């Protein structure tokens, strides 16, 4: 069943798929970070966050309850491009298509895991 990109259903589906993706979980293992992403022109959530908690990974629509380590701003089209694997999150951050502030060391330490998220999303039926 298709899920709308950046909706609650998408967040739950991505959380479940990522948790079963061995390569992603290996890349994320032991990492602790909260990413908060603000998405301009989003037809669904305009803020969502990803939480790496050592041995687990969660995506939720809306802002995190605690402080985020990294805040990112991007537009919906860029986020779709990343989700489809046509642009990596690292590349978006490094070229300014996604404006990132915060703990850059944490962001870079999760670069490989973040880049694998697009492969995780390949297994989902997402409506953009």
Partner 1 sequence: MVKSLAYVGVASPALAEWEAFGPEVLGMEVRERENDDVLQLRMDDRHHRLAIHRGERNSLLYLGWDAGDEDTLGACFEVLQRNGLSGRWGTEEECQERRVLSMVVADGPGGIRHEIVSGQKVEPKTFRPGRPISGFVTGEEGMGHVVLAVPDLKEAHTFYTSGLGLRKSDEISTFIDLVFYHCNPRHHSLALTQIPGVRGLHHVMLEVADIDDVGLAYDLCMERSIPISMTLGRHVNDQMVSFYVRSPSGFDIEYGWGAISVGADWSVAQYDRPSIWGHKMIAQTPPGAFEEVPR
The answer to the question of residue 60 lying near partner 1 (CB under 8 A) is: no
Coil, helix or strand for 57? strand
The answer to the question of residue 56 lying near partner 1 (CB under 8 A) is: no
**In DSSP terms, which residues pair with 102 in a beta bridge?**
70
Instruction: Choose, by CB under 8 A, the member of 16, 40, 77, 108 that binds partner 1.
Output: 108
Integer angstrom CA distances of residue 46 from 9, 39, 53, 60, 86: 15, 5, 23, 12, 21
Which range, of 1-9, 10-18, 42-50, 99-107, touches partner 1 by CB under 8 A? Answer: 99-107
Backbone angles phi, psi at 51, to 5 degrees: -120, 120
Q: Which is nearer to partner 1, 4 or 103 (CB)?
A: 103
Residue 31 and residue 24 in contact, taking contact as beta carbons nearer than 8 Å:
no
Instruction: Choose, by CB under 8 A, the member of 76, 112, 124, 128 that binds partner 1.
Output: 112
Which range, of 9-17, 37-45, 46-54, 107-115, touches partner 1 by CB under 8 A? Answer: 107-115
Instruction: Choose, by CB under 8 A, the member of 87, 116, 120, 126 that binds partner 1.
Output: 87
CB-hemisphere CA count at 13 Å for 127?
9
**Which residues form the interface with partner 1 (CB under 8 A)?**
87-88, 90-91, 93-97, 100-102, 104-105, 107-112, 115
């Amino acid at each position: 069943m298709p899920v709308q990109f950046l909706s609650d259903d998408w967040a739950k589906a991505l959380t479940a798929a990522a948790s079963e993706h061995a390569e992603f979980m290996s890349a994320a293992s032991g990492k602790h970070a909260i990413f908060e992403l603000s998405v301009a022109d989003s037809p669904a959530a305009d803020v969502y966050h990803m939480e790496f908690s050592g041995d687990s990974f969660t995506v939720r629509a809306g802002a995190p309850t605690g402080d985020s380590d990294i805040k990112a701003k991007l537009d919906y089209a860029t986020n779709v491009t990343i989700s489809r694997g046509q642009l990596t999150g690292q590349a978006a951050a490094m070229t300014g298509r996604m404006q990132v502030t915060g703990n850059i060391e944490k962001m870079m330490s999760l670069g490989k895991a973040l880049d694998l998220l697009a492969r995780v999303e390949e297994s989902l039926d997402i409506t953009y």
